[in-house]
Amino acid sequence: MTSFTISKNNFLKQDIEAFYRDQYNDSGYLLDFKNTYGKPEKTDTESYRKKILQDLDNASSTLKKILKKDLPKILKNSSHNSLTVCVVPRAKAQKEYNENQLKFKSRVSMLVNSLDYFDNGTDYIIRHSNTKTTHFKEETPPNYNNDFPEPSEGITLKTCNISSDVKDKNILLIDDIYTHGVNIDEDAIQALLDEGANSVIFYAPARAS
């Protein structure tokens, strides 16, 4: 696990302590979590559906091992007795996704429930309005509607409901991948602070260059 600093900018008013596990390489288990699998189509074969579920199960197992190792280290490194875990929501409104597309969040939630000194705040940030999906390296896939607002200052507060329970909490904010310059995570951190969080530490299993 590597520590780094998310520096203040137009989206974030203060420097934030952050951690990541690996450098992202456009493959592996995190790509399975970022799938665009929708509801099963009639043309999908049974073997294809089974492969999707197997890929997600394998990704979940890998994520669990990583989080179980890293989260206690982050808490020990901090000055806090406990941390409340929140998750950066996906780009579209939560209602737009099916269960398979929310596996990253659900697996974080399950792991947090099994750890001492961590509180589950994975439902504290819920996106209610769509934003532009930014992780496509090439053109947007065919038939994928991505005509939504790009990340901008304050977009988290504009497109998400944030629970009042974040007030006075020491938050560990988790995203699947941190990408410098996109500012999704910076804006989410600032939103938590604006809503009264006492402090925020950031963690991602991977960091994109």
Ordered by start, the domain boundaries in the chain are: 2-35+45-136+148-208
Instruction: Calculate helix-pair angle for 103-113, 46-77, nearest 10 degrees.
Output: 50
Residue 132 reports pLDDT greater than 80: no
Q: Considering only CA atoms, which of 35, 14, 58 is closest in space to residue 200?
A: 14
- What does the buried/exposed string (b/e) look like for 161-199 if buried means 16 or more CB atoms within 10 Å of the residue's CB? ebeebbeebbbbbbbbbbbeebbbbbbbbbbbbebebeb
Strand duo 199-208 + 170-174: pairing: parallel
Q: Which residue has the higher pLDDT, 9 or 55?
A: 9
Q: How confident is the model at residue 142 (pLDDT cuts 50, 70, 90)?
A: low
Tokens of 159: 């497109």
Top CATH class, 2-35+45-136+148-208: alpha beta
Q: Considering only CA atoms, which of 14, 120, 13, 19 is closest in space to residue 77?
A: 19
Residue 77 reports pLDDT greater than 50: yes
pTM exceeds 0.85, yes or no: yes
Cα radius of gyration (the chain) = 17
pLDDT of residue 54: 86
Least confident stretch, 3-12, 17-26, 32-41, 152-161:
32-41
Outline where DSSP puts E strands in the chain.
2-6, 16-23, 83-87, 118-120, 125-127, 160-162, 170-174, 177-179, 199-208
Q: Considering only CA atoms, which of 81, 84, 87, 76 is closest in space to residue 113?
A: 84
